[in-house]
Amino acid sequence: MTIKGFIFDLDGVITDTAEYHYHAWKTLGKKMGIEIDREFNEKLKGISRMDSLDRILVHGGKTDSYTETEKEALAADKNGEYVKLIEDITPADLLPGIPELLGELKAAGIKLALASASKNGPVILERLGITADFDEIVDPSLLAKGKPDPEIFIKGAHQLGLESSECIGVEDAEAGIDAINGAEMFSVGVGDPESMKDANYRVANTSELSLVKIMAAVGN
Ligand code: BG6
Ligand code: MG
């Protein structure tokens, strides 16, 4: 099958906003008396805002401590912190290797979609100056289920007018790799080897991403 589309996660793949999500959750955790370390944070990557909060409350043994209204306020508080952290993003914040990969994909005529769980995704693409590089953006607010459910990647392929088997998904989250694999798409994993163990092709960081190497791994 010829590869005609790439479907990208955003946070931690295109730019280092995964780090900002971590800091914003850690700040909220402190206010709630819940310790959030990097190991637990791996379980939050790719997970929607409210689902992340639920996971944090389970982690801290505080599932019954807040009403739904209070939980909405906590999630809004975290987002307020996060929005401050992403204010100064510029094209210089594209992760190493990403401008080159986007160039290679464009030259090869491969279509691009964004499959990010983040409602802040479109504004981040704007600040990075790469909105026009993407043919489609999946709207996370219209999903029935978040990652690890494959829905977001299946929708990405549909929006591009392609079959899942014609697309490659790129992720840094364990939940994201599960979502790509569940969509029966070839998965490329970036980062933590343990979290990326189920990816079809793995790199330690974005500077190692190369279209030629990925295509060789797919067998194209
Ligand atoms: C994902 C991040 O891309 O988006 C998660 O990996 C984050 O950490 C999720 O919780 C939702 O983001 P937002 O910006 O809508 O709160
Ligand atoms: Mg991510």
Whether 74 shows a pLDDT value over 80: the answer reads yes
Whether 75 shows a pLDDT value over 80: the answer reads yes
Ligand 1 in contact with 124 (CB < 6 A)?
no
Q: How far apart are CA 96 and CA 203, in angstroms?
A: 13
Whether 1 shows a pLDDT value over 90: the answer reads no
Number of H helices, E strands in the chain: 9, 6
- Residue 220 has what pLDDT? 73
Protein residue with its CA nearest to atom 13 in ligand 1: 118
Mean residue pLDDT of the chain comes to: 97
Q: How far apart are CA 183 and CA 12, in angstroms?
A: 21
Whether residue 96 is preceded by a cis peptide bond, meaning omega within 30 degrees of 0, is: no
Which residues belong to the active site? 9, 11
Q: Which residues contact 47 (CB under 8 A, 6 or more apart)?
A: 55, 117, 146, 147, 173, 175
| Structural domains of the chain ordered from first start | 5-15+95-218 (3.40.50.1000), 18-88 (1.10.150.240)
79-119 tens-digit pLDDT: 999 999 999 999 999 999 999 999 999 999 999 999 999 99
What is the percent of the chain with per-residue pLDDT over 70, rounded to a whole number?
Answer: 100
Q: What is the DSSP track for 24-44? A: HHHHHHHHHT----HHHHTTT
What is the percent of the chain with per-residue pLDDT over 90, rounded to a whole number?
Answer: 99
Spatial contact of 191 and 172, defined as CB atoms under 8 Å apart: yes
31-54 tens-digit pLDDT: 999 999 999 999 999 999 999 999
Atom of ligand 1 nearest to the CA of 12: 6
Task: Compute the average pLDDT of residues 147-175.
Answer: 98
